[in-house]
Amino acid sequence: MSDFNNTEGLFADRDRAEEICSMLLANGYTKINDFRDLVYDVELRQDVEKRLNKVGMRLIYNMYSEYWGVGLNEHTSKDDRLEWSSNFGLSRGAMALFLILWCKLILPKRLEQEAQNSEDDGILGDAFLEFLEVKPVPNASISREQVTAEFASLLGGVTNTSKYLTQLNRASLIKMHGGVIEEGPLMSLVIDEASLGDELRREVLLSVLRRSHRHDLEEREKQREQNDADLDDDFSEVSDV
């Protein structure tokens, strides 16, 4: 994102909503701190959302993200020509790696944040919420070497993995520096975290149920074999008599 030292002069002839929309459409995202009034000014936010909606876009945000983002609205997202991964220039392999990195970089942090938010602070905690100590959740990171070692064989080799990382970095979905990979400005915004989280939980539950079912079948098979063995021993004893 471009930094401007004097945005007041630059946007002197524009209204606030137009300024925000132009920055979002030009860059795809902007820091929340650059437009703090968008947080608490409901009318301004509605105006921005209305203007974006007229061009098939929508304002996207996440309570845990440091950025505002812009994406396709519900109507335009149904058009296959406007599928967001295509517009980011992401291949199927890059999309697969993106989901892997989301699980590595975002999911652990979200679980920690949700755990903190679910703590019951009681009446005094509710009354003095702004004075409560908020435990910082450190930004997760993963080394490029680790990603390559763990997933290159699944992604078609080291060369393809490097290509996919470059695509994700160019799309601002991740940040890479000094061999370290961190979440990019758009990683938390372009994906429906609630739906993906629910899906992951379902998959984990199904996996647990499948393992439990396999364990039960194995135990039954062992018991059947043991019963057969016991019967063989009984027949042997009868024969000896």
Percentage of residues in the chain with pLDDT exceeding 90?
23
**pLDDT tops 70 at residue 104:** yes
Judgement on whether residues 65 and 140 belong to the same structural domain of the protein = no
Mean pLDDT of 34-60: 91
Strand 180-183: give its sheet, edge to edge: 141-143, 180-183, 174-177
At residue 161, the pLDDT reads: 94
Q: pLDDT tens digit string along 51-82?
A: 999 998 889 888 778 899 888 888 877 766 66
Q: Which of 60, 82, 104 is the last residue of a domain?
A: 82
Judgement on whether residues 93 and 120 belong to the same structural domain of the protein = yes
At residue 213, the pLDDT reads: 58
210 within domain boundaries: yes
Judgement on whether residues 95 and 178 belong to the same structural domain of the protein = yes
1 within domain boundaries: no
The model's confidence at residue 138, banded by pLDDT at 50, 70 and 90, is: low
**pLDDT tops 50 at residue 237:** yes
Percentage of residues in the chain with pLDDT exceeding 70?
61
CB atoms within 10 A of CB 181: 22
- Rounded distance between C-alpha atoms, residue 190 and residue 183, angstroms: 12
Q: pLDDT tens digit string along 169-181?
A: 988 899 998 899 9
2 within domain boundaries: no
Mean pLDDT of 191-212: 62
Q: Which range marks the domain in which residue 25 is found?
A: 7-82
At residue 14, the pLDDT reads: 62
Judgement on whether residues 119 and 63 belong to the same structural domain of the protein = no
Q: Percent helix, strand, coil in the chain (nearest 5)?
A: 60, 10, 25
Ranking 73-77, 131-135, 148-152 by mean pLDDT, the lowest is 131-135
Q: Which of 82, 113, 129 is the last residue of a domain?
A: 82
**Amino acid letter, residue 149:** A
Mean pLDDT of 185-213: 67
Q: Which of 144, 159, 183 is the last residue of a domain?
A: 183
- Rounded distance between C-alpha atoms, residue 110 and residue 137, angstroms: 9
Do the Cβ atoms of 171 and 91 come closer than 8 Å?
A: no
**pLDDT tops 50 at residue 116:** yes
- Count how many domains the chain has: 3
Q: Which of 31, 34, 62, 68 is nearest to 48 (CA)?
A: 68
At residue 234, the pLDDT reads: 56
Judgement on whether residues 136 and 216 belong to the same structural domain of the protein = no
CATH number where 14 lies = 1.10.10
Mean pLDDT of 135-145: 72
Judgement on whether residues 128 and 140 belong to the same structural domain of the protein = yes
Judgement on whether residues 44 and 111 belong to the same structural domain of the protein = no
Mean pLDDT of 234-238: 56
Higher per-residue confidence, 227 vs 104: 104
Higher per-residue confidence, 101 vs 192: 101
At residue 131, the pLDDT reads: 34
